[in-house]
Amino acid sequence: MERLEVLKTYKIYIGGQFPRTESGRYYTPVNKAGKALGNICLSSRKDVRNAVSAARKAFGGWSERAAFNRGQIIYRIAEMLEGRRLQFIEELQLQGSTKKAAEEEVNLTIDRIVYYAGWCDKYQAIVSSVNPVASSHFNFSVAEPMGVVGVVAPENTSLIGLVSLVLPAICGGNTVVVLAAEHLPLCAVTFAEVVNSSDVPGGVINILTGSNKEMNPTLSTHMDVNAIVYGGNDALALKELQENAVLNVKRVFAYTNDWSKADAQGLHFISDTQEIKTTWHPIENIGGAASSY
Amino acid sequence: MKKNQDKKNRFQAEYLNSPAVDKVGVEERVARFQTRSIKDASKLQGLKMALNMIDLTTLEGKDTPGKVKQMCYKAQHLHDLLPGLPTVAAVCVYPSMVKIAKKEVAGSGVNVASVSTAFPSGQAPLDVKITDTKFAVDEGADEIDMVISRGKFLAGEYNYVFDEIATIKEACGKARLKVILETGELATLDNVRKASDLAIYAGADFIKTSTGKIQPAATMQVTYTMLMAIKDYYDKTGIMIGMKPAGGISTSKLALHNLVMVKEVLGSAWLTNEWFRFGASSLANDVLMQIMKAETGVYQSSDYFSID
């Protein structure tokens, strides 16, 4: 007797759980050949709200973790993703990539995760500074994560774009709510499964699928979102995000990099979602001949 | 004491023969309260009602006069950006903080409730508990939240618990008495029902689920069981008893579910802070955030609300 294939249910990822969308709605994106990719959750504004709450809840613990430990955990994502390599390649091919391009994209994704894992305990030393001031103060500036970062993933890639935007934000101690590429959502959900098996605390990365047009306003007006990273290519959508962001003075960053390039990574992607805090510490003299330090 | 003895003789048959609770039935009924569709306008009304039913609470070893003053201010100024908000019903503090709280809320209509009887464990001799209660009343407490001796209750010494509640009721004078059953320690719904009946017949003005120090606290199953005890007593005697779920109700949604339950079990007469309260510390901000969401259309952040 012929065996029936067991198909995967693509769900969203909120607070370390895989619920279906609260709205119960689905959509069925198709690839170029007209083949349905699957029934994908069409998330609603309440899913966005739940994801932001989960991200906020996870922020304290994640940002206070030792930087080195964050690096270890992020490295673990790369390890887990390596083990799922074939699944990602298959999904990328189903969504229209050639086999070669799919393999390259997965390789680059793993390398990029390792790259940002390495940055976790190093960017602080480069971004922060000790500042010369003309008063009796030890004056220093340190980088602190902004908080909850909304990530609108690029529309034209399924995996590498999303990872390139999410990793620098969590590397810096932020937590994220990701809106996956609407028409290429498969790898986003599988990436959530990888994250879930990688020691990343629930709520640090939350991934929603569905219509960006529908979710963008909720994400960008939400008072508890501190920054938005936009990877899309739609000037009007970006304008809407920027206007909504005014409500609570969110930072908005828009990137149009070609993420498939090996050099589309770097320290500034991390430092963008960092706030600089400067402290004036009263002290008589530092570094001079009379300094007792 | 003589009076209490009479009361006991009269009611022993009632409180020692509480009906058994059908746990599966309770769960099904409770699940149905959570499926009611509440439209926006009613929701806003419900949220404001919930605010007005809150006993804003701080019961920590680390409480200071400053903390209590700050909470009392919050009780009267929930969110000044939103005009037309009610105050909370009461502030709930330890006996040592009653005087400070009383002074801070004077003239605002907010009551001062004090826990007593060796809260939260209740493990103290009766005379200590009486002194504890009298002290709080003398300091100006309008309401007393006492705990029952769960150890005695579980050991089957129901008469002891009855006497204790009746004695404290006397010590309360004019202050209203809320009796905390600490349902998280009573293990079964049958026990919850029995303790509810015991407290009601012994003279409680309110019955209250929990101290907030033990999990689980005010689950809807437990609250429902207690509401049924109140309903049966009302049907029998025509006397209203108040209900206060406390502990674990930290979201607006849960508060609204509770209001639906009270309305459907006891009726609209109980939908006022004279007969229904929420014991909570973080519920107020969540309700405020929901109200702001309804007013502005955007989801809110706790960054813009006062610390509770």
Q: Which residues of A touch B300 (CB under 8 A)?
A: 223-224
Question: According to the model, what pLDDT value does residue B6 have?
Answer: 79
- Sort A171 into a burial class: Cβ within 10 Å, 0-12 / 13-18 / 19+: buried
| pLDDT the model gives residue B1 | 60
**Which percentage of chain B shows pLDDT scores above 70?**
99
Query: Given this model, what pLDDT does residue B150 score?
Result: 96
CB spacing of A223 vs B297 below 8 angstroms: no
> What does the CA dihedral A36, A39, A44, A49 come to, rounded to 10 degrees?
-120
Which residue range forms the structural domain that includes residue A229?
Answer: 36-282
Cβ within 8 Å, pair A221-B297: yes
Q: Is residue B98 part of a domain?
A: yes
Catalytic residue among B55, B244, B286, B308: B244
The model's pLDDT over A240-255, given as tens digits with 9 standing for 90+, comes to 999 999 999 999 999 9
**Angle in degrees, CA B224, B226, B230, rounded to 5:** 110
Does the annotation count B138 as an active-site position? no
Tell me the per-residue pLDDT of B264-277, one tens digit each, with 9 for 90 and over: 999 999 999 999 99
For range B131-139, the mean pLDDT: 97
Nearest to B194 by CA among B164, B237, B150: B150
How near does any CA of chain B get to the CA of A18, in Å? 22
Instruction: Give the pairing of strands A129-131 and A40-41.
Output: unpaired
Residue A19 lies in a domain: no
- B304/A221 Cβ within 8 A: no
Q: Report the pLDDT averaged over residues B91-120.
A: 96
How much is the average pLDDT of A118-133?
A: 95
Mean pLDDT of chain A: 95
Task: Please tell me the total count of domains within chain B.
Answer: 1
**In a domain? residue A186:** yes
pLDDT at A6: 87
The pLDDT of residue A291 is above 80: no
Q: What's the structural domain count of chain A?
A: 1
B28: enclosing H helix or E strand: helix B23-33
pLDDT of residue A268: 97
Query: Which tens digits make up the pLDDT trace of B256-267?
Result: 999 999 999 999
Q: Residue B70 pLDDT more than 90? A: yes
Question: Catalytic: which of B74, B129, B178, B208?
Answer: B208
User: Searching chain B, which residue's CA lies closest to the CA of residue A218?
Assistant: B298
- Residue A292 belongs to a domain: no
- Domain membership of residue B172 (yes or no) is yes
Q: What is the CATH number of the domain that holds A249?
A: 3.40.605.10
- How many A×B Cβ pairs under 8 Å? 23
Q: How confident is the model at residue B98 (pLDDT cuts 50, 70, 90)?
A: very high
The per-residue pLDDT for range A44-102, each reduced to its tens digit, is 999 999 999 999 999 999 999 999 999 999 999 999 999 999 999 999 999 999 999 99
What mean pLDDT do residues A179-193 have?
A: 97
C-alpha distance from A219 to closest chain B C-alpha (Å) = 9
Return the pLDDT at A292.
65
How large is the average pLDDT for residues B102-122?
96
The CATH number of whichever domain residue B62 belongs to comes to 3.20.20.70
| B268 shares contact with chain A (CB less than 8 Å) | no
Asked if B299 lies within 8 A of A247 by C-beta distance, the reply is no
Q: Residues A163, A109: contact at Cβ < 8 Å? A: yes
pLDDT at B2 over 80: no
Q: With respect to residue A2, please indicate whether it lies within any of the assigned structural domains.
A: no
The answer to whether B152 touches B191, Cβ cutoff 8 Å, is no
B175-182 average pLDDT score: 97
Q: What is the DSSP-derived secondary structure letter of residue B85?
A: P
- Would you call A218 an interface residue with chain B, using a CB distance cutoff of 8 Å? yes
Helix boundaries (H) for B204-282: 220-237, 252-265
The reply to whether B250 touches chain A by the CB within 8 Å rule is no
pLDDT band, residue A135 (cuts 50/70/90): confident
CB atoms within 10 A of CB B237: 12
pLDDT of B307 reads 83
Mean pLDDT of B146-160: 95
Residue A44 lies in a domain: yes
B208 in catalytic set: yes
* A10 domain residue, yes or no: no
Which amino acid is residue A280, in one-letter code?
Answer: W
pLDDT tens for B3-29 read 777 777 777 777 888 999 999 999 999
Contacts of A218 in chain B (CB under 8 A): 299
Confidence at A293, pLDDT banded by 50, 70, 90:
low
Q: Is residue A103 part of a domain?
A: yes
CB contact under 8 A, A223 and B299: yes
At residue A93, the pLDDT reads 96
DSSP single-letter state for residue B61: T
Amino acid at A166: V
Query: Which of chain B's residues have a Cβ under 8 Å away from the Cβ of A44?
Result: none
Per-window interface: A 231-250 vs B, CB < 8 A = 247-248
Q: Supply the ipTM of this predicted assembly.
A: 0.87
Say which residues have a Cβ less than 8 Å from residue B263's Cβ, sequence separation at least 6: B270, B271
A152 located within any domain: yes
Helix ranges (DSSP H) in chain A: 45-64, 67-83, 85-94, 99-119, 123-127, 160-171, 186-196, 212-221, 235-245, 267-272
Residue from B292, B298, B303 whose CB has the most chain A CBs within 10 Å, to mutate: B298
- Print the domain residue range for B205: 2-302
User: By CB neighbour count within 10 A (0-12 exposed, 13-18 middle, 19+ buried), where does A45 fall?
Assistant: middle
Residue B308 domain flag: no
Contact list, A52 vs chain B (CB under 8 Å): 299
- Do A222 and B299 count as a contact with CB atoms less than 8 A apart? yes
